[in-house]
Amino acid sequence: MKIGYIFAGQGSQKPGMGKDFYDSFDASKSIYDRANLALGIDLKRICFEGTLEALSMTEVTQPAILTTSIAMLRAFESLTSVNPVAASGLSLGEYSAHVASGSLSFEEAVKLVRKRGLFMQEAVPAGIGGLTAITGLNPIHYEDLITEASKHGKVEISNINSPKQIVIGGMHAGLKHAGEVALKLGAKRVTPLSVSAPFHTSMLKNAELKLETALKDIHFDEMKLPVVTNINGRLITSEHLIPEYLSKQVTSTVEWVKCIESMKALGIDTLIEFGPGSALGGFVAKIDRSIKVLSIDSIESLYKAIEIIEDNKPMVKAI
């Protein structure tokens, strides 16, 4: 069994996320407490008691999901001796992958993603743009879809989540027309997403530039665990490239299919997903069904994952 780690992105947030880990593991409790100190806000209260609306404010969502994902990772690590081959994360999740890698400290990461959320929100005024998921459209129609939709307002591909789903971002008028065109071209479903900005499009250029400046003050260590980056789906060859990749990620298409293909090429046959929800597992199933995904987002799923790993290889410490 060759294991890789994958980390949740924005949109997976839900009220109460991570509280069971906070209550059950000292390693998880420490992560939430450190996040509160680093940010100067009661992030754990928002995660455990806040409404979905409060959790969905971008500058809160990003540190909340990163903190929850790392709290789950630390709980897992306290019970296992797994040696993963590589890590990756969907959009925001790439920051969690760097924390797992040791290239970025948790405190630096949680402060950085809060800034990232603010920069992304400020880049495009509310009500101007958004995101829409397109499911079941043949990839041969992507170029025609974008060309036709852009006649009504800027539209670009934000995410390639699986061979059967992309997310497009841009101006609302363009997105509305894109949905109509996609259905005519054979798409099975068009779903406007509950986000306030067209993430991963050129419309966020100002956010990229602000993040590029913020990243100049961040120290990145050597990666102890290789990280696959979203912008091209390849392994990052040096920690010196991390700032460039993270800043460009804001305006670049998230190449999630290529990320998973690269992890498969490394021999990875099992991915462990950390963070609220199990959306990444669904994407992976549509990319390559030969890859097993163990999604950890509850205490029950944590121990289930450990049980499966134990059955395949004796690598778990006594609990």
**Active site residue ranges:** 91, 200
User: How would you label 37-46 residue by residue, b for 16+ Cβ within 10 Å and e otherwise?
Assistant: ebbeeebbeb
**CA quadruple 76, 2, 274, 93: dihedral positive or negative?**
positive
Whole-angstrom CA distances from 2 to 21, 69, 87, 270, 294 are 26, 21, 12, 6, 13
* Conformational region of residue 6, where left means phi above 0, alpha means psi within -120 to 50, and beta covers everything else: beta
d(CA 202, CA 316): 45
d(CA 174, CA 129): 9
Q: Which residue has the tokens 């949905």?
A: 179
Number of residues assigned to the chain: 319
